[in-house]
Amino acid sequence: MENGISSYCRFLNGDDEGMVELIRDYKDGLMLYIDSIVHNISVSEELTEDTFVKIAVKKPRYKEKYSFKAWLYAIGRNVAKDHLRKYGNNISYYIDEDIEDNEDLEQEHIKNEEKIMLHRTMKKLKSEYQQVLSLVYFEQLSNAEAAAVMHKSKRQIENLLYYAKKALRSELEEGGFQYEEL
C-alpha cells in the first residue's frame, strides 16, 4: 500500500499521526502545484491548508483508480478552482510581501540552480502548461493520473505535454539556457 494511502487509512481509523504524515509528505509539492493555478504563493499556502482541512473534516473516500497523490492533487485543484471562481483570476487583495520565503521554498523543494531556473521559467508559461509539466515531471504522475487531476483525456494530456515542452524550450532558449535534452 502506498504510504499516502496507509497514512490516510490510519487517520480515518482515529490515528491523527496519519494526517501529520500526509501533510509532511505532500504539502510542498501540492503547494507548488496549486501555485501553478493561482499564481500567488501566499494564496497557494492557504489553499494547501484548505485542502488538508477538507480531507480531515469531510473525510472523502479514496478511490483506488489512481494513486493517492493524484487523488489528493485533484482535491487541491478543485479547491483552487473554487477559490478562483469565488474571487476571480486577478486577486489583488493579496500582497506577497515576503518574497524570500518563496525563494526558500523553491530552494528547499527544487535543490539546485538549473531546476530553480527551470521552475522560474515555467512560471512564464500558460497555466495549463505549468500544471501538466508540474504533475508529470515534478510530481511524477502518469499521463492517465495527470488527466484525472486536470479533468482531461489522456490524449489531451499528451498534446498539452508536447506543446508545454515546446513552449518551455523556447522560453529557456530565449533566456540563454544551455541544455542537453528536454
Q: What was the pLDDT predicted at 182?
A: 44
Length in residues, the chain:
182
Q: Which single residue is written with the C-alpha cell 488538508?
A: 52
Q: Is residue 182 part of a domain?
A: no
Residue 181 lies in a domain: no
Alpha helices in 13-65 (DSSP H): 17-38, 41-58
In sequence order, the 6+-apart residues with CB closer than 8 A to the CB of 93 are: 87
Residue 42 lies in a domain: yes
**Residue 179 forms part of a structural domain:** no
Q: Contact at 8 Å (CB) between 69 and 26?
A: yes
Domain count across the chain: 1
pLDDT tens, 34-61?
A: 998 998 888 999 999 999 999 999 999 8
pLDDT tens digits for range 132-166: 988 998 888 999 999 999 999 999 999 999 999 99
- CA–CA separation, 41 and 34 (whole Å): 9
CA diameter of the chain = 53
What residues contact 34, with CB distance under 8 A and at least 6 apart?
44, 47, 48, 51, 76, 77, 79, 80
- Residue 17's domain comprises 3-174
What span, in angstroms and rounded, lies between the C-alpha atoms of 162 and 166? 6
Say what the pLDDT of residue 145 is.
Answer: 93
Rounded Cα distance between 159 and 142, Å, is 14
CB atoms within 10 A of CB 153: 12
- pTM score: 0.69
Is 96 within 8 Å of 40 (Cβ atoms)?
yes
Residue 149 within a domain: yes
